[in-house]
Amino acid sequence: MRTIRITGTGSALPGRIVTNKELEQMVETSDEWIRERTGIAERHVSVGETVVTLASEAAHKALEQAGKRAEEIDLILVATCSPEQYLPCCACQVQAAVGAVNALAFDVNAACSGFLFALNTADAYLRTGLAKNALIIGSEVLSKLVDWTDRSSCILFGDGAGAVVVERCEASPGILGRALHSDGTGGGVLQCGARELTTPYARTSAAKTDQKQQTDDREHYIQMDGQEVYRFATRRVPQCIEEALADAGLAVPDIDLFVLHQANARIIDAVAKRLHADREKFPTNLERVGNLSSASIPVLLDELHRQGKLHRGDRIVLAGFGAGLTIGACVMTW
Ligand code: ACO
């Protein structure tokens, strides 16, 4: 049976670190409140790095580790919800930056579930023979979408990119089970408007009031009902993991590591508790990087891999949730 195997990982974080203490100077908050409610102590913030430069750096490292030349790659997927440009897509820009001249390249936007959705898209391409290998990247510069005067959201997010090289193989067990879902009716819970909401034609034909203008300005930043997202995540992530495990014919005790989207330490605690799983099996890096949206899972995977904490044959669960609403889990053999 054809399946896929991750053969290389890489990540990139901007050099500038913003600590909770620094945020205390910007909004009415405290290091203690942020640590207690989220587990986050600091995050990396772009001072010029872009979704494409971070993605390209992570991609170079993943290719190097996989021992693959860029020209050998035939599919590039970039998961992002914070591109700098509408056109061309980030994946095509990464293709040009790394020299993957033979690859098909396009973006996937499923917010914080983006990497998982992209991984499963690549799996479908590889299993059906449409591609032999793929570069899958999650990359975000969320700092440009964050309202730095809103203390309830600006404390959460960071910038960075993670990449994996996946290759088709006949023997490896690869992805064993999955569960992916979207619920567009929950879109209002977590949203961010495009910079230009009205066409020049609409602007000239219908003058806006000052009040409407102010509303539009707010819509350009991430707006989130934090408690609702929290409830969604703590209820649906364990269900989704159980569903993926059932698809794989496995149970919670069979899993060596749960690599979850790094949104909030309390969410991870709650998921572990609901699954009756050992909390030690849920590694985190959110203390140092915050919520990296689609980059969250691949950055953590790369850190674990380079620290020697992933071993061939380990059974791992990847799980993410985010705007859309979207949610996904997949069970794989490393
Ligand atoms: N510092 C100090 N006080 C704050 C801060 C802050 N940074 N932010 C909010 N508060 C205050 C509130 O104003 C409120 O004050 P009040 O009681 O006087 O009204 C109080 O703290 C409690 O606010 P809550 O919103 O109830 O705080 P909560 O414990 O729910 O924590 C948080 C908020 C951290 C946002 C939490 O709800 C959460 O993590 N939700 C999930 C968010 C998430 O994961 N988002 C990412 C999704 S992934 C994606 O797709 C991008």
Provide the mean pLDDT of the chain.
93
Residue 306: pLDDT band with limits 50, 70, 90: very high
Residue 79: pLDDT band with limits 50, 70, 90: very high
C-beta 227 within 6 A of ligand 1? yes
- Tell me the per-residue pLDDT of 100-127, one tens digit each, with 9 for 90 and over: 999 999 999 999 999 999 999 999 999 9
Strand, coil or helix: what is 34?
Answer: helix
Q: Is the pLDDT of residue 98 over 90?
A: yes
Average pLDDT over residues 301-314: 96
Using most ligand atoms within 8 A of CB, pick from 43, 152, 234 the residue to mutate for ligand 1.
Answer: 152
Residue 143: pLDDT band with limits 50, 70, 90: very high
Of the candidate ranges 82-86, 204-208, 307-311, 317-321, the one whose mean pLDDT is the lowest: 204-208
pLDDT at position 207: 53
Q: Supply the DSSP symbol for 208.
A: P
C-beta 152 within 6 A of ligand 1? yes
Average pLDDT over residues 203-208: 58
pLDDT at position 71: 98
Parallel/antiparallel/unpaired status of strands 175-182 and 315-322: unpaired
Residue 174: pLDDT band with limits 50, 70, 90: confident
Q: Is the pLDDT of residue 274 over 70?
A: yes
Strand, coil or helix: what is 321?
Answer: strand
Positions of E strands within the chain:
3-12, 17-19, 42-44, 75-79, 104-108, 133-141, 159-169, 175-182, 190-191, 223-224, 257-260, 315-322, 326-333
Q: Is the pLDDT of residue 205 over 80?
A: no
Residue 305: pLDDT band with limits 50, 70, 90: very high
- Tell me the per-residue pLDDT of 180-192, one tens digit each, with 9 for 90 and over: 999 999 999 999 9
Closest C-alpha residue for ligand 1 atom 8: 152
C-beta 118 within 6 A of ligand 1? no
- Both structure tokens of 286: 């959110």
**Cα–Cα dist 277/329, whole Å:** 16
Residue 154: pLDDT band with limits 50, 70, 90: very high
Average pLDDT over residues 289-296: 98
- Both structure tokens of 60: 């170079």
Residue 73: pLDDT band with limits 50, 70, 90: very high
Q: Among all residues, which ones are annotated catalytic?
A: 112, 261, 291
Closest C-alpha residue for ligand 1 atom 9: 152
**Cα–Cα dist 112/16, whole Å:** 22
Residue 204: pLDDT band with limits 50, 70, 90: low
**Cα–Cα dist 240/320, whole Å:** 9
Question: Residue 172 contacts by C-beta under 8 Å, 6 or more apart in sequence?
Answer: 3, 4, 5, 333
**CB-neighbour burial class of residue 35 (10 A; exposed 0-12, middle 13-18, buried 19+):** middle
pLDDT at position 188: 93
